[in-house]
Structure 1
Amino acid sequence: MNISEAVRRAALTAIGSVVIDGVTIPVFDEVVNPNVVIPTVRNAKVYIILQDQQEAEGRQNFCSYRQQANWTIKAVTIFNTAGVANKRLSEDVGEIIEKRIKPTGKTHALVDANGYSFQDTNKVYSRNNTEITKSAVSFSKILIFNTTVNN
């Protein structure tokens, strides 16, 4: 297993099953599966997607070789009517994700796997994104994390 897959598996495990208002939100790895029905919550279609991973060359310490891995998670909400659209739902989902990745704000929840251990997971960046078309409004909460990976 390479570092990308190890980080993805650890992130997906940490996120787990996200439930909003009694509805389970699907979590996708890079691409939305067209065979999965996207649920509606508060008048919006909602899903989570893990995407945009990258690794940087690390350094050798006394115990292991370390690399830096950045990865992005998006909480996406799509409203069909602009009148009921707002970014609150995407922010609520993003907050759940962030608490799953860093439950105490200091420690992280990534589980070591297949010879890789994870430490120093930090939120590098968080932002909102809005997309508007004639028939829909989409709000995304985008979270980028950096993790030190030992192998």
Structure 2
Amino acid sequence: MLYSTLCNQGDWAFRWRSIAPAVLMIPAVIVALIDVQYFLDSHTYDQWWDLFAISFVVAGLGIRVWTTGHTPRRTSGRNTKSQVADSLNTRGIYSIVRNPLYLGNFVGGLGVILLLHSLWLTLYYVLAFALYFERVILAEERFLLRKFGDSYRQ
């Protein structure tokens, strides 16, 4: 019953996965921007911190480029009305990570959040991302299991 509820929520979240996470973050980012300070009150540390954070943004973009550059058509798309998969993605980054686009989004988004120097915002981002995309991933897995069965399980 819980699995079914989470998957049904995931179907809704799947449809809005491009917009809803940003909308959930806007109020928190505005609040965090009110009190931005140098990291550890040091301009030098702040510059190093910003480079650290930007490396997450670049890594997230790299993961997304790697994924989209090697993904067959009609899989892992921008479809929002319903899920589409003509075949299973099992090569390239999909042989290492089950959901590389979401990983890229998470890593890149984390870099942006780290630029704001807010521990509570970082924790909020991690928790909100995990709860939101947990449901999307469950719904996607249910779809793939129904469509591909044992091939997907392997």
Given the two structures, how large is their TM-score scaled by the length of structure 2?
0.31
TM-score, structure 1 length as denominator?
Answer: 0.32
More helix by share: 2
Higher relative contact order (CA 8 A, sep 6+): 2
Bigger Rg over Cα = 2
Q: Whose strand proportion is higher, 1 or 2?
A: 1
